[in-house]
Structure 1
Amino acid sequence: MKPDSTPKQGLPPPPFQGLRVAESAGTAGALTGRMLTDLGATVFTARSKSDGSSGRLAAFYGAFDLGKTVVRAAEFAEHALSADVILWDVNAQPGAICCTSLRADNPSAIILRFTPFGSNGPDADRPSSDLIAIAASGYLNLTGAAQGRPVKPSAPFMSARFASLHAFAALLIARRRQRKTGQGALIDVSIRDVGLWMLVNAYQFWDQQQINLTRRGNTYAIGDMSLALPLLFETSDGSVVWLPMTGRDVRGMQALVGRMAAAGFAAPDLLARDLTQIEFASQAEIEDFLQPFRSYFRSQKTTSLYDDAVIDGTLLAPVNNFSHVLDDPQLAARDNWIITKNGKDKLPKAPVQMTAVPWPARSQ
């Protein structure tokens, strides 16, 4: 997978053209390296035989190694000596090299060190995994149904990807200093610490109000946080997410009730109700209010409900599977996909669209 940093005609060169990156970060920093190579950097990523070129990791590395030059693990130290940026995780090459020697041998480099719990503290040397990082941050405690055990998120390596994004932001700050002074930096990326930012507002409920948030499943806490408003509803062929909105945003719900009335699902008491001001005193009141909506949703196809929601301004959307996402007309209209060189695989293009500064889509 050779990098292609050639400027396209009429566009300025990529912002990281000429930047040399040595990556030995396994799954932890793979997304950081992918973004760097997309933006013009030359990235050499080290792989050992144990990384695996088949099985479940094949798709992961197939996506995140696009544009990188894959080298043998034994060659990492050689590339690190001349690199401007080093992405490093000791778990990727245990015992092969240490961060201290990397800094001593290349003091002008920016080193992003990915570790499970950080480089200091009582847990610094503890082994970890994606699920452990999510559990330790408090995130796992909020997944799943209100009654029952936490549920593991289905997306693999979620904590590592989140860490990669924050590491990239830190790298931009360090890179500015490096260009002005020639000095390197050590960026200590604790995957568990970064996980705290997935719930950056949630901790304040306890800190300020002594409310310890608990699992709500597919519901939304309202009022004094003791009531739960369901958000996920079955349709005749799938599921939709619907958020009942009152006040100034009530137009969508009024239109929905009108469609329900035309189909025979809205009783007179619902039609007579002032939807601009809805308050509930108990969970039973919430369930009574939602019952006709549940019945109506079960009688409708997901696409019909969504088409009506777009027209009416209702906060409703289908629960898409991956085939739906790949065929989504909105994503197609924004030209969000790139077909890989094999002619059959789709991958997302850059996560943002910019003018003036190129963020090219890679297909190899």
Structure 2
Amino acid sequence: MRNGPSSDDTMSGSVAGALDGILVADFSRVLAGPYLTMLLGDLGATVIKVESPEGDQTRGWGPPWRDGETTYFRGVNRNKRSIVLDLKKAEDQALARELALRADVLVENLLPGRMKSFGLDYAALQPANPGLVYCSLSGFGSQPRGARLPGFDLVAQAAGGLMSITGSAEGTPMKVGVAVVDVLCGLHGGMGVLAALAARASHGRGQLVEVNLLASTLSGLANQAAAFLMAGEVPGRLGNAHPSVVPYEVFEVADGDVVIAAGTERQFRQLCSVLDLGELLGDERFATNVARVQNRVLLRKILCDRLAGFTRAEATEALSAAGVPVGPVNDIADAFKLARDLDLEMLWRIDGIDHVRSPFFLSENAPTPRSGAPSLDADGADLREWLSAEHFPGTGGPGASGPRPAHP
């Protein structure tokens, strides 16, 4: 059994993880579920990734590649162990059930009904493992009409209204540049799992946690959803502008673009001071945010004309010094450089490969990298042996309730 990577540049760490001792059975694939379980692994949980003989689909979603594996798969599957189980075979179903009965948490995002067909749904497992926190992720929920719909991020962005507010007013609806709904769903699922574990600590029982892409999209729409629900307004596309705050968008400068987010009256006054536009403060068309929203086109032209004389560095430095929220429009390479310049440690080097570090900065139980993404069935032999042992102290054998054997 792997105890972790052998590379010297992997920080296996001596600090106890916040989720040390938690065993996660990961039946998920692609992004939402794997992202969720990776974060649990970063926090110290032992994550066992169950894959079909073909492996997680993202193993083939390249280019780009790194050392024979797609960067997509590597990016969301560190701190996990891999076992191949063909759930169509009775013997592998039995091993999968044994894993589920030993687990504290199970995460799955198979098509609704598939886990039930394998005898691995919550109702089938809960009597034998009443402490199990079972997290089920889907596209559009588990009810009959939603269960049949395809659960892909792009579909959820479209059907959930996100694309209708993304892109220029004159253009076509656009998707966000990353599978943001999958990421949101993974985060929401992770919050549900942690809440259920906290509740279990109080009353001793696990529970079913259900999250779906549509619900995560609607929740993530935040103020845009509130505009519809509370005021009856259906938001549209405004490009990079904000529907309720002006100026709050992208502006072109001499050598690129910056964003300015003057969300308070003080910040607008400071913006006008830096740009030598003090006359705007006495103009009733721009005296309040409400007035600026109504006259956004004119105000934008005035600001663009003045900002054209600044470089990105000049605009960022001058406005930041005045307390105006501003930032350059970076590409991803620039973004990582910015993190370095700000002394944010956003990289983990694992087995010689850089990863985005866990975004959690905990003062007592810091997340740590222990291993990179596993090759397919990398731990299969050891895990099969562990799951197939006939008797364990305090148990009646595989599948029995009672104290669980130690983690592999």
Same-fold call, TM cutoff 0.5: yes
Question: 1:286 and 1:201 mapped to 2: Cα distance?
Answer: 19
Unaligned runs of 5+ in 1: 259-269
Give the conservation status (yes or no) of the 8 Å contact 1:242–1:316.
yes
**TM-score normalised per structure 2:** 0.74
1:59 equivalenced with 2:71 (yes/no): yes
Partner of 1:120: 143
Structure 1 SS opposite 2:24: strand
Question: 1:210 and 1:240 mapped to 2: Cα distance?
Answer: 33
Question: 2:203 and 2:327 mapped to 1: Cα distance?
Answer: 50
Cα distance, 1:110 vs. partner? 1.2
Partner of 1:85: 105
Of 312-321 and 100-109, more deviation after overlay is shown by 100-109
- Deviation readout 1:272-304 (Å, 9 max, x if unpaired): 342696248799954444334313433432122
Of 78-87 and 294-303, more deviation after overlay is shown by 294-303
Question: 1:246 and 1:173 mapped to 2: Cα distance?
Answer: 35
Cα distance, 1:116 vs. partner? 1.0
Question: 1:281 and 1:292 mapped to 2: Cα distance?
Answer: 15
Partner of 2:249: 231
Partner of 1:312: 322
Cα distance, 1:245 vs. partner? 5.7
Partner of 1:333: 343
Taking CA–CA contacts closer than 8 Å with sequence separation of 6 or more, which of the two structures ends up with the larger relative contact order?
A: 2
Cα distance, 1:184 vs. partner? 2.4
Cα distance, 1:183 vs. partner? 2.3
Residue type matched to 1:42 in 2? Answer: T
Partner of 1:303: 313
Question: 2:47 and 2:300 mapped to 1: Cα distance?
Answer: 54
Question: 1:135 and 1:249 mapped to 2: Cα distance?
Answer: 35
Going from structure 1 to structure 2, the CA distance change for 1:7 and 1:232 (only over 3 Å counts) comes to closer
Partner of 1:264: none
- Identity over the aligned pairs, expressed in percent? 22
Structure 1 SS opposite 2:145: coil
Partner of 1:274: 281
The correspondence of residues 168-317 of structure 1 with structure 2, limited to 5 A, is 168-222=190-244, 231-244=249-262, 247-258=265-276, 270-274=277-281, 278-279=286-287, 286-317=296-327
Partner of 1:266: none
Give the conservation status (yes or no) of the 8 Å contact 1:3–1:37.
no
Question: 1:22 and 1:60 mapped to 2: Cα distance?
Answer: 21
Residue type matched to 1:165 in 2? Answer: L
Residue type matched to 2:131 in 1? Answer: S
Equivalenced residue count is 344
Going from structure 1 to structure 2, the CA distance change for 1:2 and 1:327 (only over 3 Å counts) comes to farther
1:354 equivalenced with 2:366 (yes/no): no
Residue type matched to 2:46 in 1? Answer: T
Unaligned runs of 5+ in 2: 6-10, 64-69, 87-91, 373-408
Of 93-102 and 133-142, more deviation after overlay is shown by 93-102
Partner of 1:37: 41
Structure 2 SS opposite 1:274: helix
Going from structure 1 to structure 2, the CA distance change for 1:184 and 1:88 (only over 3 Å counts) comes to same
